[in-house]
């Protein structure tokens, strides 16, 4: 009866129409109109306030520069309560069958689909990216939960026949309470990417968003609860370095998954090592895009734009080192500059906007400083790289800049060597395949890389030699949830998405079964 009910729900889910297309929707909010007063911490099934008096931190709306809400950071007491709630939920959740867990996860995905526009709008208000991109992020979160709901039913071990009728088998078991620490560029999506495989494997999670973008992770916590998850299965604690340290050092935490910068990733790895806890680290990148003269130039230009200007350039996998074979450099540069200048900047909640605001004023100043440094080092600003002030008076305090293309770049320049994390494309020329591969791999990072060419043999040959975890041929920044994502070298450890991620949220137990007498040496 229970299985029939599950199958009926699954069948009904599959018969539902697809998510609404990316067309103009009726706005529920507008930039500058939102004030958030509800608590942003969540554990044991509801929003929580701190029991101790702490200084609150302002959270800003990037589009306007106004204060959106105040963040109440969690200390040791709150972290302990959240972890205890997760431990309690784990006891129940880990004993459910994969089908039982899948039913709740599919319901959560359905709620996300229904509330897609609301979640996307709040993501825009808190992060500054365009509503068009925010909708795609919400879709990615939903698809990830759906994907791992399907995986939950497939978790299985192995049977090994041994001599004399004895045998062994393996069990794939959950780890326990997992910690997820998110970044500010994809707040809702990252929370889903970390929680979905964890929950599918039978774990519970305590998630800490970036203090810059704390708003939407708590929406995910609420909808998991609404979907029928046990109270405490997915919890949200807000805070900065102190809160993260408390989570990493907590004796009841079994694993830490972090997305963010290389320096912070190193600290998290060190803290987790004190308890010999496994970590998944998705860190920074300074990825190369190799554009050969035999490519489709129009596609290569579009790929370079996608590789640099999504989310205002605030994407870890961005290919900010664009290597163009000298023969087609003038043609490529003319078109990429023309299209970059045509990018519409402004209110991220407008359908026509393609580039919203950077996440904060300090980050905007940091990105602009890289452009200034590039000019001092001899690069040519072909377009953009300046503060942008929208005509709408309510947006004039926002954190906007014009997308920038830098020419005459060399490998030694700061803009080519360091991760800028903003809408700044550095273009370099090359002559030969051997030369560009050597230069592309000359970095301590290895998150992603791409190649544009019409020669299929060259494409696969080049990808084989690129030292990066996620490689693209004739496209860029495509991240289907069915495919593993992660880096080589200092860009991280482990993977997110795809089947392999199950291995990072579970542990293997081997069981030996003797069917005869013990053959003892004593």
Q: What is the tens place of the pLDDT at every residue in 345-386?
A: 999 999 999 999 999 999 999 999 999 999 999 999 999 999
**Is the distance from CB of 105 to CB of 147 less than 8 angstroms?**
no
Residue 203: burial class (beta carbons within 10 Å; 0-12, 13-18, 19+): buried
- Residue-level pLDDT at 27: 55
Residues of the chain with pLDDT under 70: 1-27
**Is the distance from CB of 68 to CB of 38 less than 8 angstroms?**
no
Q: What is the tens place of the pLDDT at every residue in 53-109?
A: 888 999 999 999 999 999 999 999 999 999 999 999 999 999 999 999 999 999 999
For 131, 216, 242, 275, 492, the CA distances from 268, given in Å and listed in that order, are 32, 23, 12, 12, 12
Specify the DSSP element, H or E, that contains 245.
helix 241-249
- Residue-level pLDDT at 14: 43
- In degrees and rounded to multiples of 5, residue 77 shows phi and psi of -65, -50
Whole-number Å distance between alpha carbons of 279 and 484 = 16
What are the residue ranges spanned by the domains of the chain? 28-283+496-507, 288-490
pTM of the model: 0.93
Nearest to 408 by CA among 379, 439, 365: 379
- DSSP state string for 380-400: EEEE--SB---SSGGGTTS--
Output DSSP code: residue 485.
B
Nearest to 286 by CA among 490, 496, 494, 497: 490
- Residue-level pLDDT at 50: 82
Looking at the structure, give the CATH architecture of the domain made up of residues 28-283+496-507.
3-Layer(aba) Sandwich (3.40)
Cα dihedral: 311, 317, 321, 322 (round 10): -80
- Residue-level pLDDT at 3: 44
For 129, 338, 476, the CA distances from 302, given in Å and listed in that order, are 19, 12, 9
- Residue-level pLDDT at 468: 98
- Residue-level pLDDT at 113: 98
Q: Which of 72, 282, 419, 433 is catalytic?
A: 282
- What sign results for the dihedral spanned by CA atoms 420, 425, 426, 428? positive
Packing angle, helices 98-114 and 2-15, rounded to 10: 30
Right CATH number for 288-490 from 3.40.309.10, 3.40.50.720, 3.30.390.50, 3.40.50.920?
3.40.309.10
Q: Tell me, yes or no, if 242 is annotated catalytic.
A: no
């Amino acid at each position: 009866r229970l299985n029939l009910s599950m199958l009926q729900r699954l069948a009904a889910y599959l018969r539902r129409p697809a998510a609404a297309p990316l067309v103009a929707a009726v706005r529920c909010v507008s930039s500058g109109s939102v004030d958030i007063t509800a608590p942003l911490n969540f554990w044991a099934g509801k929003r929580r306030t701190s029991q101790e008096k702490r200084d609150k931190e302002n959270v800003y709306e990037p589009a306007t520069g106004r204060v959106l809400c105040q963040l109440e950071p969690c200390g040791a007491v709150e972290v302990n309560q959240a972890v205890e709630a997760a431990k309690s939920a784990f006891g129940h959740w880990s004993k459910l069958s994969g089908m039982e867990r899948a039913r709740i996860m599919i319901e959560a995905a359905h709620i996300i689909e229904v509330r897609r526009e609301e979640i996307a709008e709040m993501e825009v208000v808190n992060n500054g990216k365009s509503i068009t991109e925010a909708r795609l992020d919400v879709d990615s979160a939903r698809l990830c939960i759906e994907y791992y709901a399907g995986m939950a039913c497939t978790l299985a071990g192995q049977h090994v026949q041994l001599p004399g009728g004895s045998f062994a088998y393996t069990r794939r078991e959950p780890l326990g309470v997992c910690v997820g620490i998110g970044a500010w560029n994809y707040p809702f999506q990252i929370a889903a990417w970390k929680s979905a495989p964890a929950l599918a494997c039978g774990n519970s999670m305590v998630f800490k968003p970036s203090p810059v973008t704390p708003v939407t992770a708590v929406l995910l916590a609420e909808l998991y609860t609404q979907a029928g998850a046990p109270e405490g299965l997915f919890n949200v604690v807000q805070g900065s370095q102190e809160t993260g340290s408390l989570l990493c050092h907590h004796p009841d935490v079994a694993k830490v998954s972090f997305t963010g910068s290389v320096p912070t990733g190193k600290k998290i790895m060190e803290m987790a090592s004190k308890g010999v806890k496994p970590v998944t680290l998705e860190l920074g990148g300074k990825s190369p895009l190799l554009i050969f003269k035999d490519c489709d130039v129009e596609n290569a230009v579009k790929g370079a734009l996608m590789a640099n200007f999504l989310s205002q350039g605030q994407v870890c996998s961005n290919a900010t080192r664009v290597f163009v074979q000298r023969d087609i450099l003038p043609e490529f540069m003319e078109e990429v500059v023309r299209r970059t200048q045509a990018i519409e900047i402004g209110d991220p909640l407008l359908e026509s906007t393609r580039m919203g605001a950077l996440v904060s004023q300090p980050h905007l100043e940091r990105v602009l400083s890289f452009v200034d440094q590039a000019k001092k080092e001899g690069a040519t600003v072909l377009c953009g790289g300046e503060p942008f002030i929208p005509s709408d008076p309510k947006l004039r305090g926002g954190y906007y800049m014009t997308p920038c293309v830098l020419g005459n770049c060399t490998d030694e320049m700061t803009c080519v060597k360091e991760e800028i994390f903003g809408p700044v494309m550095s273009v370099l020329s090359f002559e030969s395949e051997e030369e560009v591969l050597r230069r592309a791999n000359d970095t301590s990072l290895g998150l992603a890389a791409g190649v544009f060419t019409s020669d299929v043999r060259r494409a696969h040959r080049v990808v084989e030699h690129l030292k990066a975890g996620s490689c693209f041929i004739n496209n860029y920044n495509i991240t289907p949830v069915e495919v593993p994502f992660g880096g080589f070298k200092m860009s991280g450890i482990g993977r997110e998405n795809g089947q392999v991620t199950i291995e990072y949220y579970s542990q293997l137990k081997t069981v030996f079964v003797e069917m005869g007498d013990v053959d003892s040496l004593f």
